[in-house]
Amino acid sequence: MRRLSIADSNFLLAENRETPMHVGALNVYTLPKGVSQRRYLKELLSILRRDDPLLPPFGERLAPGLLAKTGLVQHWMPDEHMDMEYHVRHAALPEPGRYRELFALASRLHSALLDRNRPLWVMYVIEGLKKRQFATYFKVHHCAIDGTRGVHLMQSMLSDSPEGHVDYSPLSLQAWETYKHKIGNESEAEAPSPKDLKAVAEALREQLGVTADVLGGLRRYGQVWLGMGGRLAAPWHRVPHGLLTQKISGSRRLVADSWPFERVHAVSKALDATLNDVVLAMCAGALIRYYAAQGEPLDRPLKALAPISVRTGGDIDSANAIGFIITSLATDVPDPERRLRAIQASMQAGKALYASLSPEAATLFTAVAFSPMLLTNFLGTADWFPAYNLVISNVPGPKQPMYWNGAALDGIYPMNIVVHGQAMSITLVSYAGNLDFGIVACRRSVPRVQRMLGFLEEALTELETVAGTRAA
């Protein structure tokens, strides 16, 4: 059996009926020209349901036992009764087969808890879209995967050529090993040299400094509460209550759309900001408009949690290797350029904190700093003491067009987690010249969330005007 890390186990501890802790992706494809849809999807389902050895933990379940029931000690064990027919499902949309019906189906599927007595994933192949399109909805528990590894998994089944063809499951060991070899992560085991042994000794000495690094990071957060943190934002510090900090139900709503990468990149280049800074400013501008449309006052700047990768170079095997920056969205600043600069400064302060930590210390710091959020979830007080208002996550994806056995991948719409006190999440994946946004919210407590899509466009246009990049 393999033990889950503290970071992975936290996602299990935080889960209940109202707050499922799985992430998902809704991918849309166009069938190859001249092929029969029925024959193509039948072959695809046959491939997905093959009885191949699966990449851990997709062929594993959580081990039962007293310690596992407490949630404090969790292990993976092989599932001896793996049922691929259960995990790979076939669905069809009702007429007229628009994206509206697709997003409604994905919303319902994303609302249901995964069965902890089975491996923690399911995939749906969805037919019935117009224009010879089909979709896949894949969800997996966050204890098993983060966004970066999810993109790697997706790429392991795709090809950059419409002529490419695979006849094994994308979750199989064969797919993963083939992919790792392709991107150059495969290495041969060798006997340790004296230089290697010295490196091990140095690594052991570095472990002694991990605790000091974590305490130093927590001290920085403490300074924020004392008014000495500069631009650094800290969880729970002056987080505004209101629309997004309510208790939520288990129902979800997905809305999604795509924006040209070049539009956002042009703004970032003109204003000397990162692409992610501009994305956060887009979201801030959209949220200001959304709050105004709902008649909700914004007396303090909204705070967002922005996940960042703390993976070491070449690591694509870790389930979760993420850190969390709390950033101000400066929604109290009317001027869009000044708002962008405030967001930029807040993000730079958060990155500086993580830059002072080793990868090991960063992982432990994240687990320790955000552990009170688990407690507030358990006590049902997360809406009283929200750590932040929402998650905004930016995941790099493939730059070139990709194909799955000849079917062109048209879009990747990510679906993240929402919890009590953070009733909306915004996730985007960059893919083939586009930024594909997926917004997930509690359907009952966050009304008319589809308006966020129009507000994102208005916010980007506003930034383009400031940057002088708006097309005539």
160, β-bridge pairs: none
435, β-bridge pairs: 259, 430
Note whether 413 and 135 are within 8 A (CB): no
Do the bridges between strand 22-30 and strand 133-141 make them parallel or antiparallel, or are there none, so unpaired?
antiparallel
Q: Look at residue 178 and give its three-state secondary structure.
A: helix
Note whether 413 and 256 are within 8 A (CB): yes
CA 398 – CA 406 distance, rounded (Å): 17
Q: Round to the nearest angstrom and report the end-to-end CA distance of the chain.
A: 61
Note whether 289 and 467 are within 8 A (CB): no
Task: Spell out the residues 6+ positions from residue 264 whose beta carbon is closer than 8 angstroms to its own.
Answer: 275, 278, 279, 282, 435, 460
Which helix (H) or strand (E) segment holds residue 270: the answer is helix 261-270
HSE toward the beta carbon, residue 466, CA cutoff 13 A: 22
Catalytic residue of the set 142, 152, 237, 265:
142
Measured from the Cβ of residue 165, the count of other Cβ atoms closer than 10 Å reads 12
CA 78 – CA 62 distance, rounded (Å): 9
Measured from the Cβ of residue 136, the count of other Cβ atoms closer than 10 Å reads 21
Measured from the Cβ of residue 167, the count of other Cβ atoms closer than 10 Å reads 11
Measured from the Cβ of residue 367, the count of other Cβ atoms closer than 10 Å reads 17
Note whether 287 and 331 are within 8 A (CB): yes
Catalytic residue status for 142: yes
CA 315 to chain centre: 17
Hey, what's the torsion of the CAs at 116, 121, 126, 132, to 10 degrees? 170
HEC assignment per residue over 103-172: HHHHHHHHHCCCCCCCCCEEEEEEECCCCCEEEEEEEEECCCCCHHHHHHHHHHCCECCCCCCCCCCCCE
CA 378 – CA 230 distance, rounded (Å): 32
Sheet with 2-3: strands ordered across: 2-3, 75-78, 60-62
Note whether 414 and 28 are within 8 A (CB): no
Q: Which residues are catalytic?
A: 142
